[in-house]
Amino acid sequence: MIPRPTITQLAAQLGVSPSTVSRAFTRPDLLRTDTVDRVLAAAQAVGYVPNNHARALSTGKAGAIGLIVPDIANPFFPPLIRAAQNHATAAGLAVFLADSDENPDREERLIIAMAPQVEGLLVVSSRLPSSRLRDLSGRYRLALVNRDVGGTFRVLLDATSAIHAALSHLAGLGHTRIAYVGGPERSWSNRQRRAAVEKRSRELGLHFMSYSAGPGTYEAAKALSRTVVGNGATAVIAFDDVLAHGLMGGFAEEKVDVPGDVSIIGCDDALATTTFPPLSTISFRVDEAAAEAVHALTAHSSPGTLPATRVAFEGSLVLRGTTSTPRRD
């Protein structure tokens, strides 16, 4: 690790001014092409890499965005992180990642600490109260994902219509008693999904039951499985695939057959076909959502805070192997 060469050294070595070297990287169109080539070749030779901090200081642009998720271990987030990463890289930006550990205080501290150092912050599935988010959104460049707060820039994965389709499908199969098994109470998605299931159940004249798998873990859902079938539900919609999977784990232990005895539909399509039977679920175009959010952050048309825009992507129902006609007793 020899101290790395600076633009000045490279310039001296080439007999040009530092500005020329700088421009060879940032505004090559201003230089003669052979000058550019010469500089680039020399840079390559001595292993020159521009110092990002100096650049950021000079331009006022950070060259990075931040990404905050509540729990990186939840399989829903990694694909989103990867997508954000790819789009950021394409825009020439690096990504700072932070995990709020489902803790609102920690999340807020992270936002305050990171926001000044980056172009903007992608806040995914925030657990903060709406008022705080609105406030923070007024002070920093935030793009919310999966959280609908008026007055902020937000991109939403909207399960409503897919849930309607799911319930129509279940009703069509003959199910009449539907359970919703919810996740983290601070999650906007959870509230939205529960409301959608309830509303649509009423519309279709189905009996609706609501449960909550507190922390939203596999184990919590598994522990709930007995209760859910005990109360007579023949179909359950879970907040996400992790909970759906937990329920399946519980049912397997109790010899409750899926989909024979009970149908299950998850959400997020985070598990692909890794369950047995393969889980029916609601799938989102996560990559596009991430692209939208990153793009908003990097579009410097707005020098200040982001416009209060609401972008929604609808999910789609994908039926695999966990839904069928209810067993007639």
Partner DNA sequence: CCTTGTCATGCAAACGTTTGCAGAGAAACA
Partner DNA sequence: TGTTTCTCTGCAAACGTTTGCATGACAAGG
Our finding on whether 298 is near DNA (CB under 7 A) is no
Tell me the one-letter amino acid at 297. Answer: L
> Of 5 and 28, which CB lies nearer to a copy of itself in the complex structure?
5
Question: Which of 246, 259, 315, 326 lies at the binding interface for a copy of itself (CB under 8 A)?
Answer: 246
Stretch that binds a copy of itself, among 21-29, 128-136, 187-195, 271-279 (CB under 8 A): 271-279
State yes or no: residue 13 binds DNA (CB under 7 A).
no
Is residue 67 a contact residue for DNA (CB under 7 A)?
no
Q: Sign (positive/negative) of CA torsion 87, 91, 95, 101? A: negative
Does residue number 278 form part of the binding site for DNA (CB under 7 A)? no
Q: Please tell me whether residue 117 binds DNA under the rule CB under 7 A.
A: no
Q: Are 50 and 9 in contact (CB under 8 A)?
A: no
Q: Is 63 left (phi over 0), alpha (psi -120 to 50) or beta?
A: left
Closest-CA residue to 152 (of 178, 126, 181, 189): 126
Q: Which residue has the tokens 């509540």?
A: 70
Segment (H or E) for 195 = helix 188-204
234: CB partners within 8 A, 6+ apart: 175, 176, 177, 261, 262, 263, 326, 327
Check binding of 318 to a copy of itself (CB under 8 A): no
| Piece of the chain touching a copy of itself by CB under 8 A; list 77-85, 168-176, 197-205, 229-237 | 77-85
Under the binding rule (CB under 7 A), the answer on residue 45 touching DNA is: no
Q: Calculate the CA dihedral of residues 51, 57, 58, 59 and round it to 10 degrees.
A: 100
Binds 274, which of a copy of itself, DNA, none (CB < 5 to 8 A, cut-off by type)? Answer: a copy of itself
Q: Which residues contact 156 (CB under 8 A, 6 or more apart)?
A: 145, 146, 147, 148, 310, 311, 312, 313
Provide the binding-site residues for a copy of itself, judged by CB under 8 A: 1, 4, 49, 51-54, 56-57, 62, 64, 72-73, 75, 78-79, 81-82, 85, 94-99, 112-114, 116-117, 139-141, 218-219, 245-246, 248-249, 252-253, 272-276, 303-305
Provide the binding-site residues for DNA, judged by CB under 7 A: 3, 6-8, 15-20, 22-23, 25-27, 30-32, 35, 48, 50-51, 54-55, 57-60
